Amino acid sequence: MSHEATHPVTLFTGQWADLPFEEVARLASEWGYDGLEIAASGDHLDLARADEDDAYLQSRLDTLDRHGLKVWAISNHLAGQAVCDDPIDFRHEAIVRPYVWGDGDPEGVRQRAAADMQRSARVARKLGADVVTGFTGSKIWPYVAMFPPVPASVIDEGYEDFARRWTPILDVFDGEGVRYAHEVHPSEIAYDYWTTVRALEAIDHHPAFGLNWDPSHLVWQGVDPIGFIVDFADRICHVDCKDTRVRPQTGRSGILGSHLPWGDPRRGWDFVSTGRGDTHWEDGFRALDSIGYTGPISIEWEDAGMDRLHGAAEAIERIRSLLWKRPTASFDAAFSHQ
């Protein structure tokens, strides 16, 4: 069934990287997805191999084709995280490719991660995708509480570091005609409205730097996700549908999570299956239509209390029910006909 009259609905494969790419494609097709937002994880997409081996790259396209799927965006969130982070430590070793980690020397990891981000632009273009989604990392995220006191010069240097490291990456994206869709997210250089403004200023509003609208990270921070669409209308070039449920305040927990695991009822909030949280998806889609967004709507499924096979199948039905066609004329135009 073709759904191209409205936004294509895709499945982000990052949370499915333990399954073979062929299996994820089969499941997504059976559930009615139009395509995949392919993560550079597991066997789904090896960027180094795809950049050098045309046969391997074609095998990804062949798998999609066998299952009637397309690709509009790929993800390189994990390498992106390592571009600016300080410290680089065991957390990064667990998520980046061995060719990015290398000997683990922190600056070497950052440089190899930056090279992998440039590689992702080339691979996206070869796949026919116009967007790479991901993170940026942040040298100054460890100072988010601003205590012990942090001089303004340290924060300034953090944004300068981001600009130094990302401008050459973005130049490659620009040359390939691909946009980088940064996911505004705590632990990144841009995690709310004001930090997004400052990040854009730091890179002189580089045309290749776009935004991935994922409201789940805005909701739990108390940032208005719909206003975010309006504020950054010219930057939003991808959408990830992940949902968040904020629990009633008990006076015991706040937004920082209390170092409690996902799904723990003592937490102040949790990621939940798309459509079961506090995100106003209909308002979001109406706002996206108002700014002229025509790209994919990608379901990023995360829920510690639900089996993903149930969640991914349910989520696409919920989201499709909200992706109606826009009217061709104003609803009040009929009043002028006597």
Q: Domain coordinates of the chain in residue numbers?
A: 9-244+279-327
Task: Yes or no: say if 161 and 84 are a contact pair by the CB < 8 Å rule.
Answer: yes
- Answer yes or no: pTM beyond 0.85: yes
Give the C-alpha separation, 181 to 131, whole Å: 7
Please name the CATH architecture into which domain 9-244+279-327 falls. Alpha-Beta Barrel (3.20)
Note the pLDDT tens digit of each residue in 142-198: 999 999 999 999 999 999 999 999 999 999 999 999 999 999 999 999 999 999 999
Statement: residue 1 has pLDDT above 50: no
Note the pLDDT tens digit of each residue in 100-123: 999 999 999 999 999 999 999 999
Max CA distance (Å), the chain:
77
Taking residues 21-42, report their average pLDDT. 98
Closest by Cα among 35, 52, 51, 209 to 136 = 209
Residue 120 DSSP label: H
77: its two tokens: 């969130």
243 contact partners, CB below 8 Å, separation of at least 6: 215, 216, 271, 272, 273, 274, 275, 276, 277, 278, 279
50: its two tokens: 């795809």
Q: Please report where in the chains the tokens 């989201």 appear, as a residue.
A: 319
Give the C-alpha separation, 242 to 264, whole Å: 18
